[in-house]
Chain A
Amino acid sequence: MNTPSSKSSPLPITREQALALSVPDKLAFFQGIRLNHPRVNQLLKGLEIMALPGSGTDIALLIGPTGVGKSTLVDGLRARIYQSYQQELGEDPSFIPVVVTEAPSSGERGFAWRMFYLRLGEALYEPLMDKKQETALRDGRVVVRHVASGTTVTALRVAIEKVLRARKTSLVIIDEAVHLLRNLNGNTLANHMDALKSLANICGVTLAMVGSYDLLQVLDLSGQVARRSAIVHFQRYLTGVPEDELAFRKTLQMLQRQMPVEGMSDLARYSLNLQEACVGCIGILKDTLSRALGMALLDGGRWSEGCLEKALLAPHQTRSILDETLQGEARMRSKNFGSGSFQASAKEFKEAECMSRGAA
Chain B
Amino acid sequence: MSQGNTSETEFDLIEVDPSALLPPRSRLAPLKPLGLGTPYRESLSSFLQRLADQHGLSPKVLARELVLPRLGINRREQASQADRLWRTSFFNGMGKVPQKWVKILEELTSVKRLDLLTLLPLQSKVGMPGISSPTRRWCPICLHEGAEEGIPYGQLLWEIGIVTACPKHHIKLVNSCDCDPAKAHSSLKSKHLPQLCGLCGNSLALRPGIPVEAASEAELHRATLVAELLGSNLFEPNGCTSHGAGIVPFLQVAVLIVGDECAARTARILGVSKGTLSGWLNYHHLPSLAHAVSIAEVFKVPIAKILVGEGSGDFSSLRPKELQRISHRRRLRRNCSKDELERKLQEILNAEIPVSGREAARITGNSNRGHYLSFPELSRAIAKRSLDQQHKDAQKRREEGLLLIRDTAMQLANEGFIPTRKRLEERIKGVSTFFLSNERDECRRICVEVREEILFPKRSSC
Contacts and interface: CB of A to CB of B under 8 A. Distances in A.
A242 interface: yes
A143 B191 contact: yes
Nearest to B185: A143
Q: How many B residues touch the partner, as a band?
A: 35 or more
Contacts of B12: 35-36
B275 to A, nearest CB: 51
Contacts of B61: 128, 131
A240 interface: no
A158 B2 contact: no
A87 to B, nearest CB: 11
Contacts of A138: 201
Interface in B170-229: 185, 188-191, 193, 196, 200-203
B14 A133 contact: no
Contacts of A96: 22, 25
Contacts of B193: 142
Contact of A133 (B28, B57, B66, B200): B57
Contacts of B191: 133, 135, 142-144
B382 to A, nearest CB: 54
Q: Which of B11, B20, B188 has the most CB of A within 10 A?
A: B11
Given A35-B13, A36-B10, A36-B11, A127 B18 contact: no
B6 A89 contact: no
Q: Which of A6, A126, A127, A254 has the most CB of B within 10 A?
A: A127
A36 B201 CA distance: 57
Contacts of B185: 143
Contacts of A21: none
Contacts of A142: 191, 193, 196, 201, 203
Given A94-B26, A166-B29, A9 B19 contact: yes
Contact of A93 (B25, B56, B62, B65): B25
Q: How many A residues touch the partner, as a band?
A: 35 or more
Q: Which of B11, B30, B56 has the most CB of A within 10 A?
A: B56
B11 A89 contact: no
Given A33-B13, A163-B29, A1 B18 contact: no
Contacts of A89: 22-23
Contacts of A6: 19, 24
A35 B14 CA distance: 6
Nearest to B31: A166
Interface string A1-44: 11100111110100000000000000000000111111001000
Nearest to A86: B21
B55 A250 contact: no
A195 B222 CA distance: 53
A82 B18 contact: yes
B15 interface: yes
B27 interface: yes
A131 B57 contact: yes
A90 interface: yes
Interface string A102-143: 000000000000000000000001111001110100101111
A92 B23 CA distance: 10
Contact of A9 (B10, B16, B30): B16
Contacts of A37: 10-11
A1 B26 contact: yes
Interface in B93-115: 107, 109-110
B61 to A, nearest CB: 5
Interface stretch (A73-81, A201-209, A225-233, A338-346): A73-81
A90 B110 CA distance: 12
A214 interface: no
A158 B57 CA distance: 11
Interface string A187-216: 000000000000000000000000000000
B25 to A, nearest CB: 5
Interface in B26-63: 26-31, 54-58, 61-62
Contacts of B58: 133, 144
A166 B193 CA distance: 19
A319 interface: no
Nearest to A141: B201
Contact of B20 (A8, A86, A90, A246): A8
Nearest to B30: A94
Contacts of B203: 142
A52 interface: no
Interface of B: 1-6, 10-31, 54-58, 61-62, 65-66, 107, 109-110, 185, 188-191, 193, 196, 200-203
13 contacts: A1-B25, A1-B107, A3-B25, A38-B6, A75-B18, A79-B21, A82-B22, A93-B25, A94-B29, A128-B66, A132-B55, A133-B57, A145-B189
Interface of A: 1-3, 6-10, 12, 33-38, 41, 72, 75-76, 78-79, 82-83, 86, 89-90, 92-96, 125-128, 131-133, 135, 138, 140-146, 155-156, 158-159, 162-163, 166-167, 242-243, 246-247, 250-251, 254, 258
Given A9-B20, A127-B28, A143-B185, 5 more contacts: A128-B61, A142-B191, A144-B58, A166-B30, A250-B11
Which 5 pairs across A and B sit closest by C-beta, in order of nearness? A9-B20, A166-B29, A141-B201, A132-B56, A34-B14
